[in-house]
């Protein structure tokens, strides 16, 4: 089998194949003697940690910065596409205060007055889209 094959396995398979996988994970990560996987829960935690690292590294290859990544996600947001990546949850559609907190968080990042001299993004367009997403959350869209 390929090294790190366990990164793409569903959680149920990880749990079912715990006995054989715990050694594979330790060997693949070169953490023998440093990492001890004694339970299925430990195995899941280790795999999830490596999956987060992998996702973070792959995301960083495509965007100049996290700010540029969020701008892309906001500008390309349609319906529920990119909700998870933007931190939009069901509570934002139910609780207007939660929706407003979300909106404020992104306004602090993308407000044109806070980004004077940065021409890498169209901050007015991003702000319009933030407001459009917010209006959809609170039922004004």
Residue 137 and residue 80 in contact, taking contact as beta carbons nearer than 8 Å: no
| Per-residue confidence (pLDDT) for residue 116, from 0 to 100 | 92
Q: Which is it for the CA torsion 66, 70, 71, 73, positive or negative?
A: positive
Contact status, residue 108 vs residue 114, Cβ threshold 8 Å: yes
Average pLDDT over the chain reads 87
Report d(CA 135, CA 92) in Å as an integer. Answer: 11
Q: What pLDDT does residue 51 have?
A: 81
Structure token pair of residue 60? 């960083």
62-95 pLDDT tens trace: 778 889 989 999 999 887 888 888 999 999 999 9
State pTM to two decimals: 0.58
- 92 Cβ partners below 8 Å, 6+ apart? 98, 99, 102, 137
pLDDT tens digit string along 92-107? 999 999 999 999 999 9
3-class DSSP state of 78: strand
Kindly state the percentage of the chain with pLDDT values over 90: 44
The yes-or-no verdict on residue 60 having pLDDT over 60 is: no
Instruction: State how far the Cα of 31 lies from the Cα of 83, in Å rounded to an integer.
Output: 35
Instruction: Identify the helix (H) or strand (E) that includes residue 134.
Output: helix 123-137
- Band of residue 25 on the pLDDT scale cut at 50, 70, 90: confident
| pLDDT band for position 123 (cuts 50, 70, 90) | very high
- 3-state class of 36 per DSSP? coil
């Amino acid at each position: 089998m390929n090294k790190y094959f366990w990164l793409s396995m569903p959680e149920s398979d990880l749990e079912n194949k715990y006995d054989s996988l715990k050694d594979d994970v330790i060997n693949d990560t070169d953490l023998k003697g440093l990492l001890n996987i004694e339970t299925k829960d430990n195995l899941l935690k280790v795999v999830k940690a490596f999956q987060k690292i992998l996702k973070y590294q792959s995301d960083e290859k495509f965007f100049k910065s996290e700010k540029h990544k969020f701008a892309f996600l906001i500008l390309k947001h349609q319906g529920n596409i990119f909700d998870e990546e933007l931190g939009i949850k069901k509570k934002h559609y139910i609780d207007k205060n939660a929706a407003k907190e979300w909106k404020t968080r992104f306004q602090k990042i993308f407000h044109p007055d806070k980004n004077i001299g940065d021409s890498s993004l169209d901050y007015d367009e991003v702000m319009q889209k933030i407001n459009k997403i917010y209006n959809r959350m609170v039922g004004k869209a």
